């Protein structure tokens, strides 16, 4: 039995190497919630192709880490597979900046060592950026679309994952990345229009499935102005 398992392990490992399949451990996160392209006619997600003016909660910009390396500080958050019990936003705090619970007031999770909070308007376009982390291949993804879930609750507490799933406002193609050989650190992203909401601050969740039932999420507050 044990021997069989070991043989199976070796076989799978060899297969992965031979087929060039990406490492399954690599996980992504929302690197930027409000990315502004330098040249909207030639949209680029690369560092030199724009800048980020809105971030997830407690995003540690002061650490100046290169794009796509923030998994070293546990920036990613793997949720429970069951949306009835899954915590929408990381509550772990087991690495600088990885605690994405709602701050009170929400503005406390932004500014200083953290990134800025997103400020936008209804109908405005928000462009969200993430690192490929070896997974920007349609053939390896069961669901290639990132959910953008936007709470309908204004200036209020975070809602549950089940409630967030009733408020998916966009589905962005995870595999839309910059060309390049580095399949781990390629920059990817997608844009969507801010839906109708009364002025106020709302929870925005980026949620992506790596393997079956293996979800990752990032949370941000966005201020929708008149």
Binding site for ligand NAG (CB under 6 A): 91-93, 99, 101, 103
Q: How far is the CB of 91 from ligand NAG (least distance, A)?
A: 6
Cα–Cα distance for residue pair 173/222, rounded to 1 Å:
21
Residue 57 Cβ vs ligand NAG, minimum distance, rounded to whole Å: 9
Q: Which C-beta is closer to ligand NAG: that of 114 or that of 174? A: 114
**Closer by beta carbon to ligand NAG, 92 or else 193:** 92
Pick 23 or 107: Cβ nearer ligand NAG? 107
| Token code pair at residue 103 | 């701050």
* Position with the least CB separation from ligand NAG: 93
Give 147 or 217: the residue with its C-beta nearer to ligand NAG.
Answer: 217
- Please report how close the Cβ of residue 94 comes to ligand NAG at its closest, in angstroms: 7
Minimum separation from the CB atom of position 103 to ligand NAG (A): 5
């Amino acid at each position: 039995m044990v021997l069989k398992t070991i043989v199976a392990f070796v076989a799978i490992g060899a297969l992965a190497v031979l087929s060039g399949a990406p490492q399954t451990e690599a996980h992504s996160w929302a690197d930027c919630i409000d990315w502004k392209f330098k040249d909207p006619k030639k949209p680029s997600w690369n560092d030199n192709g724009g800048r980020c003016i809105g971030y997830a909660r407690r995003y540690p910009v002061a650490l100046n880490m290169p794009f796509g390396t923030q998994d070293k500080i546990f920036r990613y958050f793997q949720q429970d597979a069951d949306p009835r019990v899954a915590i929408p936003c990381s509550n772990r705090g087991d690495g600088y900046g990885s605690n994405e619970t709602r701050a009170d007031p929400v503005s406390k999770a932004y500014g200083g060592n953290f990134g800025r909070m997103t400020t936008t308007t209804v109908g405005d376009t928000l462009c969200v950026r993430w690192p490929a982390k070896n997974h920007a291949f349609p053939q390896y993804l069961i669901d290639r679309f990132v959910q953008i879930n936007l709470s309908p609750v204004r200036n209020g507490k975070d809602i549950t994952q089940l409630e967030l799933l009733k408020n998916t406002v966009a589905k962005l193609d995870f595999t839309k990345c910059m060309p390049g050989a580095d399949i781990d650190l390629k920059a990817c992203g997608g844009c969507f229009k801010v839906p109708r909401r009364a002025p106020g601050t709302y929870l925005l969740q980026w949620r992506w499935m790596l393997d079956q039932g293996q979800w990752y999420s990032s949370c941000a507050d966005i201020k929708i102005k008149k």
